Structure 1
Amino acid sequence: MKLDLLYDKLKNFISEERIKQNEPMKNHTSFHIGGPADILVLPQDAEEIKRIITCCKDEGVPFFVMGNGTNLLVRDKGIRGVVIKLAQNFNDIQITKNIIKCKAGMAVSAAVRAALENSLSGLEFASGIPGTVGGAVVMNAGAFGGEMADVVKKVNVLDLEGNIFEMSKDELGYSYRNSVLQKGDKILLDVEMELTPGNRDEIKAKMEDYISRRKQKQPLNLPSAGSAFKRPPGNYAGYLIEKAGLKGYRIGGAMVSDLHAGFIVNIDNATCEDVLKLIKHIQKEVKDKFNIDLEPEIKIQGES
């Protein structure tokens, strides 16, 4: 009943095509896995996000904020309450000299293209990283020796009381694949990145090289959520998993990629349960053989 009331409230300020009921989350994750969300909303600006959160609080309904779902595994029973998706519906960009400012829903690939078009260097490492800039900033995504912490200057966030304020890079508490924004008590609205003027041809060559290397080494043709595990200190998850003899190991429709053992791929309508069992098996084998604990990099959401 609460959900019906909430849906009616949301319709007062968001058009119906941007509110979806019982929406299969497999349609919103790169893994193509996940049961239905009670309500999925696609806001277009910060004011709509504030009003959605207020409505959820008033009705006592939980909410969850996501980007493009490229690092997300949703459980088979789905997500109760409201999913607020910030992706192509929330993706404006402004470029002033060497500063790129974009909303959290901007695709990383679009930001990388904008940097190239404006002969700005510093985002080359992100070439081929899937998902949104917001997701990349929150998790401090990185590759090829670079990471978002290298380019982020400041961000604007919305707290759960509806206040919008600025945070500098130093306040984001960046570390390997982590930031204070992962606590979930603030919603990233936009980010300002400071890049360096450079030579367009050199920037383009580096971007093309990184994309080519990704295609050779990563199973980009199969549904996955990117690297399944964080890199353990002084080692590589993919190397350990391969040495444990798990390349191609399969549970249900989920498999350790035979191209890159650091990836779990959905090869045949995998369920979330398939992936979770495979993660546990990998962790156990690597622990038994090398006494190293692997920590998942994939974010898991939904009803158990």
Structure 2
Amino acid sequence: MQEINLIREFPGYDIKQNQALSTYTNTRVGGPADWIFWPRNLDELSEVTRYARNQALPITVLGNASNLIITNQGLRGLVIFLTRLTEVSVNENTVTAAAGAAIIDTAQVACEHDLAGLEWAAGIPGSVGGAVYMNAGAYGGQVDDCLLEAVVLTPEGALKTYSKQALDFGYRHSAVQGTGEIIVSATFQLVPDAKVNIAERMEDFNDRRASKQPLEYPSCGSVFKRPEGYFAGKLIMDAGLQGFQVGGAQVSTKHAGFIVNKGQATGSDYVAVIKHVQAVVHEQFQVDLEPEVRILGE
């Protein structure tokens, strides 16, 4: 059997072999990927994923790689970064963004066109595809408040449109998390408002974020889901865990809900800190903290 060589199979496509994922993640951690691919359009995406499935190559799709931790083992098979699919367009009161567009940029485009509803996303470092996949949210808003529909590429290579209802949104959950489908674009239904009002709300959220979150260090964002009846950050703080560190990964002294990379952290450091935090919080408060962040490569 001939060895798989994606660079040979797809000359001219942006494909790299055996690259450290730490170069491309917000946490700056992650072992090597067998193959990394940056599609420039849907045809490239469709062609390469079809080939990978036919060859039984595992596929992992990432956007800005902001809300995840990749372990030292890295990822086998094909890792696809959608960060070149960034087109954002406006049609009356809707904004449609390709999956690789930054949700921050999408919110900015909405603001420039006097459309409100995405202000909560003004400081979220993720991509539109990742935001839909996770039903991302902040400051009282989330994706399912304003999503109209999303388009996915199915494992069979067809494009399929999901309505908001069909996406079955829940807290940090959407239906596509279990289907193997790749989100390729999303359309948001927004409401007209004066640009100055929208910008003011976005600035307020960003000021609050900067004052409370450890933006000066690489991190994976908020690490744990909010347990019912509690706040994860307060539980971690009350457990005396701020400043707890394994290797280069530390529970932030600024916001206990974040784990930051203080320098040379590895994915294993992050996982060790998460497990320790879970154990101590459970022991002290009998509350189980469930990671919001995706941990890949274990």
TM-score range, shorter chain: over 0.9
Question: Which one of 85, 90, 95 corresponds to residue 85 of structure 2?
Answer: 90
Counterpart pick for 1:190 among 185, 198, 201: 185
Partners of 2:181 and 2:260 lie apart in 1 by 31
Aligned equivalents of 1:2, 1:184: Cα separation in 2:
30
Distance change (3 Å), C-alpha of 1:200 and 1:113: same
Tell me the TM-score normalised to structure 1 length: 0.95
- Conserved? CA contact 2:250–2:262, under 8 Å: yes
Shift of 1:45: 1.8
In 2, distance between residues paired with 1:298 and 1:267?
Answer: 18
Q: Alignment partner for residue 77 of structure 1, among 73, 95, 101?
A: 73
- Return closer, same or farther for 1:78/1:3 CA change in 2, 3 Å cut-off: farther
**Aligned residue for 1:277?**
272
Tell whether 2:245 aligns with 1:250. Answer: yes
Question: Hey, what does 1:5 align to over in structure 2?
Answer: 5
- Secondary structure of 2:240 counterpart: coil
- 211, 224, 232: which is aligned to 2:227? 232
C-alpha distance in 2, partners of 1:61/1:118?
A: 42
Task: Look up the match of 1:207.
Answer: 202
1:30 aligned residue (26, 49, 52)? 26
SS in 1 for 2:36: strand
Task: List alignment gaps of at least 5 residues for structure 1.
Answer: none
Say whether the 8 Å CA contact 1:152–1:169 is kept in structure 2.
Answer: yes
Letter in 1 for 2:180: D
Q: State the alpha-carbon separation in 2 of the partners of residues 177 and 234 from structure 1.
A: 17
- Superposed displacement of residue 4, structure 1: 3.9
Could you say which residue in structure 1 is the equivalent of 2:213? 218
Counterpart Cα distance in 1 of 2:127 and 2:198: 21
Secondary structure of the structure 2 residue equivalent to 1:162: coil
- Equivalent of residue 118 in structure 1, options 109, 113, 127: 113
Corresponding residue for 1:40?
36
| Distance in structure 2 (CA, Å) of the matches to 1:150 and 1:96 | 19
Taking only the aligned residue pairs, the percentage that are identical comes to 41
Residue 6 of structure 1 aligns with an amino acid whose one-letter code is: L
Residue 54 of structure 1: CA displacement? Answer: 1.5
Measured after TM superposition, the shift of residue 90 of structure 1 is 0.5
Q: Gaps (5+ residues) in structure 2? A: none
Equivalent residues of 2:129, 2:183 under 8 A apart? yes
- Which amino acid is the alignment partner of residue 222 of structure 2? S
The CA deviation at 1:252 is: 1.1
For 1:106 and 1:57, the matched residues in 2 are separated by: 25
Give 1:97's aligned amino acid.
Answer: E
1:262 to partner: Cα distance: 0.1
C-alpha displacement of 1:3: 5.4
Deviation at 1:166, TM superposition (A): 0.7
The answer to whether the 8 A contact 2:16-2:35 is kept is yes
Residues 258-285 of structure 1, C-alpha deviations (whole Å, 9 max, x = no match) = 0000000010211111111110100011
1:160-207 deviation per Cα after TM superposition (whole angstroms, max 9, x unaligned): 011111110000000111111111421101001000000111111110
